[in-house]
Amino acid sequence: MILVPGTRGSLAAAFVGAVAIFATAAAMLVLRTNRHAVAPDDASLTAAAKILARDVQKGDAIGFHPEWSASQKWRFADAYKKNGLKYDDALIVGDPTDLWDADGFKRLWVVSTHNRASTLKLPTRRLRDEDLDHGTELMLFDLGTSRTAYDLRKHLGDAVVERKQPDGTMKRCNWNGESKHLCGGDWWLDVFDSVHEVGNSRHNGFMVQPGGKDGLTRVTWQRPAPARVLAGRVGLRLWAVRNDVGSDTNVRALVGDRVVWSIVLHKGDFAWHPFEVRLQPTDAGLPVAFEFAAQDGNWRQTVLDARLLDATAAAAVPAPPPVVVAPGAAPAPPIALPAPAAAPERAAPAKKEKRGKHR
């Protein structure tokens, strides 16, 4: 057999190339199959709901990870109903799930899907972890004793909300008796609690937009509970950073007439900013206020979730994701503002169970 010079190498190269193409195609097929396989199915969600119906207790919250994958919620609502509990009151809608959102509950159930359980990092003791196949796990976490003395967001109806008028005077907004302070005009000038997207995450907070030229809005709680720490998180809403209209926003916290904390949010800053402030003994009984100001307050939709804590240890405020600021942007100087008028029993972790694969 006579070979043309170079033929042997060409055949080898062709063979290697064919093998590579076949391997790539096989890998893509496996990847696609696995991607579909990790999605939750009826059996895995039914199994999770059955465990919940059997073991849920009063004071148990429930969340989904990732939250966007939550499906067949009616199964879990039925599990709570069968135990005489209210599912809607126990549901944690934050994404990602964190302990700050679950504050006030004793335990937290998390239904995790799409093989994402390993990405849920909660700084607390895990009591159970049930592997239910198809990328679905049911986890139970111990939340311990709540340290919240007064949740400012949940007491928004008790606050006094004032907005600066064009003539420089402060005008009080009207509480509608349900969910928001009506400040007149467009809805975005109202102050209300809802789930907002901040820093690539979705969590509850009340929204304040300073609004207009030299905008200023003040939210004051006249008689909050005595506490030792003021803690929370603040950030600009997604719709704010999508718009270049407006200027930077100055947020500051006051106890009585004393400024205890402040931050300048660049208008392109899409991140949560956690804070915690140790209060002084002389602060007890004084009003607590937050002020939101901007030289141009248009589109400066700011979200705040804050509470007073009765413990001296560091606050369990979740760490924020990386700060995202517009390229080349620098924080603006602060804006001058006027002065404001028993732990639960801990059960031993249950043995991890694995449901047999169904057909």
Q: 348 pLDDT band (50/70/90 cuts)?
A: very low
In a domain, 62, yes or no: yes
pLDDT at position 43, please?
95
In a domain, 225, yes or no: yes
Which tens digit of pLDDT belongs to each residue from 150-176? Answer: 999 999 999 999 999 888 899 999 999
- pLDDT exceeds cutoff 50 at 217: yes
In a domain, 24, yes or no: no
In a domain, 57, yes or no: yes
Q: 212 pLDDT band (50/70/90 cuts)?
A: confident
Q: Of 111, 142, 173, which one is at a domain's C-terminal end?
A: 142
In a domain, 33, yes or no: no
Candidate from 165-169, 262-266, 349-353 with smallest mean pLDDT: 349-353
Mean per-residue pLDDT for 256-268?
95
3-state secondary structure string, the chain? CCCCCCHHHHHHHHHHHHHHHHHHHHHHHHHHHHHHHCCCCHHHHHHHHHHHHHHCCCCEEEEEECHHHCCCHHHHHHHHHHCCCCHHHHECCCECCCCCCCCCCCEEEEEECCCCHHHCCCCCCEEEEEECCCCCEEEEEECCCCCEEEECCCCHHHCEEEEECCCCCEEECEECCCCEEECCCCHHHCEEEEEEEECCEEEEEEEECCCCEEEEEEEEECCCCCCCEEEEEEEECHHHHCCCCCCCEEEEEEECCEEEEEEEECCCCCCCEEEEEECCHHHCCCCEEEEEEEEECCCCCEEEEEEEECCCCCCCCCCCCCCCCCCCCCCCCCCCCCCCCCCCCCCCCCCCCECCCCC
If asked whether residues 236 and 194 sit together in one domain, one would say yes
Distance CA 292, CA 296 (A): 12
Report the CATH number at residue 195: 2.60.120.680
Q: 12 pLDDT band (50/70/90 cuts)?
A: low
If asked whether residues 258 and 272 sit together in one domain, one would say yes
Nearest CA to 62 out of 118, 100, 105 is that of: 105
Q: Which domain holds residue 234?
A: 148-309
Cα torsion at 160, 163, 164, 167 (round to 10°)? -100
- pLDDT exceeds cutoff 80 at 107: yes
If asked whether residues 152 and 292 sit together in one domain, one would say yes
Which tens digit of pLDDT belongs to each residue from 278-333? Answer: 999 999 889 999 999 999 988 999 999 999 998 544 444 555 544 444 444 444 44
Distance CA 76, CA 78 (A): 5
If asked whether residues 115 and 217 sit together in one domain, one would say no
If asked whether residues 156 and 297 sit together in one domain, one would say yes
pLDDT at position 37, please?
47
pLDDT at position 268, please?
93
Q: 211 pLDDT band (50/70/90 cuts)?
A: confident
In a domain, 197, yes or no: yes
In a domain, 72, yes or no: yes
Lookup: tokens for 321 = 């994701």
Mean per-residue pLDDT for 88-115?
93
If asked whether residues 167 and 284 sit together in one domain, one would say yes
Q: Of 142, 169, 199, which one is at a domain's C-terminal end?
A: 142
- pLDDT exceeds cutoff 60 at 192: yes
Residue 224 amino acid letter = P
Residue of 62 and 212 predicted with greater confidence: 62
Q: Which residues of 79-92 are buried (b: 16+ CB within 10 A; e: fewer)?
A: bbeebebebeebbb
In a domain, 188, yes or no: yes
If asked whether residues 125 and 263 sit together in one domain, one would say no
Q: Of 126, 142, 158, which one is at a domain's C-terminal end?
A: 142
If asked whether residues 128 and 153 sit together in one domain, one would say no
If asked whether residues 138 and 79 sit together in one domain, one would say yes
pLDDT at position 38, please?
82
Which tens digit of pLDDT belongs to each residue from 15-65? Answer: 555 555 555 555 444 444 444 448 899 999 999 999 999 999 999 999 999
If asked whether residues 241 and 264 sit together in one domain, one would say yes
pLDDT at position 135, please?
94
Domain count, the chain: 2
If asked whether residues 134 and 164 sit together in one domain, one would say no
If asked whether residues 224 and 254 sit together in one domain, one would say yes
